Amino acid sequence: MSRSFDAPFVDSNEADILSNALKKGEKMTREKDELAWLKAEHHLRTLRRVSSPTSTTIELEGKKVLLFCSNNYLGLANHPLLKKAAISAVETWGVGSGASRLISGSLHLNQKLEEKLAQLKCTEAALVFNSGYTTNLGVLSAIIQKGDLILADRLNHASLIDGCRLSRGTFRVYRHKDMAQLEKLLKQRKTSQQTFIVTDGLFSMDGDIAPLPELVDLAERYDATIYLDDAHATGVLGEHGGGSLDHFQMTSPRIIQMGTLSKALGGFGGFFCGRRSLVDYLVNKARPFIYTTALPPSVLATGLAALDLIEKEPQIREQLWKNRAYFHKKLRALGFDTFESETPIIPIRVGESDKALAFSEYLLDHGLFVQAIRPPTVPEGTARLRVTLMATHRLEEMDTLLTQLEAGGKALGLL
């Protein structure tokens, strides 16, 4: 049977029917064959129906559960000020944007949002894309050319991998945060080669932070550019919520970066930040920017409201970090392995996919939604539960999770 990189989403009952059909030797189409294989390997993914706003409690498949797997770190996705901004934008500007920004004109809200983003990231300019995913596809494929060298962290997000593939640069992977191996690869480059180091700022599945001071040092010594994906760090890390560079209190002309408005900022959309000439270049070269309809006005207004809010109310971010400190300490005291997590993304090591799924199901039975993360999203043998905390989680909610994690962990032999 074949394996594919990307797992599809189907109903699990369907998959049972499929594996039965397979046993009976019925003729299989390619996708049925693949689905049956995914099911057998415990890699099958399915969609679960939500019928409530996204908050710390949601209604999942008709049942109230505590949510511990959203990237809505600051709880802004359902914040009254953001909702108000979106509603008011709909009333003033309508619901759709009509065309690509290059075709029918660029709504002034785009420019306002870009100015604010450049300010947050301390860069000359910014460019809004329709999502973080298409930002990575668009920017990487536009700035990297055939023959260039790409050095990528082993745990980079799938959208970075896809952007690099699309660019047709020569792709090399270094072990997670292994600066010695990265330097070795830098030494092997041809001096004529433009070199790009591509990394997450805050790693989405491990919850640790890229060693940016060391990366910049290497980039300077070997004349490389760093492409930083700050999807999870924006609004979360740093005194001003500016992300990884704010966290290290550094800037560097060697670094260009992207982020998303869809995680801590609670809304939707992606963005690139860097020097003005690069932004002008991307407007001309980034195909996912050029050939897609611009974001709706309400989405742009939501982004603006979120940036305002994180500036004016740093206490929301402080609460997120208080929650993180409380929960992580208790989790470690129970004896769980949390990888190298140092942020509100807290993975709990399980190992095998079926066991991680069983743990997640156990928690769901007890009214707690924590996603199991399995290959191919993470390396084989490192399946895990991934807890993401929000500023809006209350102490009692975290305590409920801790109690059930302990019981479930013991039942599964992890503790």
Ligand X SMILES: *Cc1c(COP(=O)(O)O)cnc(C)c1O
- Site residues for ligand X per CB under 6 A: 131-133, 136, 157, 159, 200, 204, 229, 231-232, 260, 262, 270
| Overall size of the chain counted in residues | 415
Q: Report how far residue 354's alpha carbon sits from residue 357's, in angstroms, rounded to the nearest whole number.
A: 5
Q: For ligand X, give the closer residue by CB, 229 or 246.
A: 229
Is 23 catalytic? The answer is: no
Q: Report how far residue 149's alpha carbon sits from residue 138's, in angstroms, rounded to the nearest whole number.
A: 18
Q: Report how far residue 130's alpha carbon sits from residue 95's, in angstroms, rounded to the nearest whole number.
A: 15
Query: Residues 6 or more apart from 288 whose CB is under 8 A from it?
Result: 129, 130, 134, 135, 137, 138
The identity of residue 89, as a single letter, is: A
Strand partners, 66: 57, 368
Query: Pick the catalytic residue: 32, 79, 232, 328?
Result: 232
The minimum distance between CB 163 and ligand X, in angstroms, equals 9
Q: Which two tokens stand for residue 56?
A: 């710390």
Buried b / exposed e over 42-79, threshold 16 CB at 10 Å, is bbbeeeeeeeeebebebebeeeebbbbebbbbbbbbeb
Q: For ligand X, give the closer residue by CB, 274 or 408.
A: 274
Number of H helices, E strands in the chain: 15, 13
Contact 128, 269 (CB under 8 A): yes
Is 204 catalytic? The answer is: yes
The minimum distance between CB 87 and ligand X, in angstroms, equals 22
Query: Pick the catalytic residue: 159, 167, 204, 244?
Result: 204
Query: Pick the catalytic residue: 32, 43, 263, 328?
Result: 263
Phi and psi, residue 383, nearest 5°: -55, 150
The minimum distance between CB 165 and ligand X, in angstroms, equals 15
Q: For ligand X, give the closer residue by CB, 262 or 323.
A: 262
Query: Residues 6 or more apart from 14 whose CB is under 8 A from it?
Result: 35
CA distances 342 to 121, 236, 278, Å, are 22, 12, 32
Q: Report how far residue 169's alpha carbon sits from residue 197's, in angstroms, rounded to the nearest whole number.
A: 12
Q: For ligand X, give the closer residue by CB, 69 or 412.
A: 69
Active site positions, annotated: 204, 232, 263
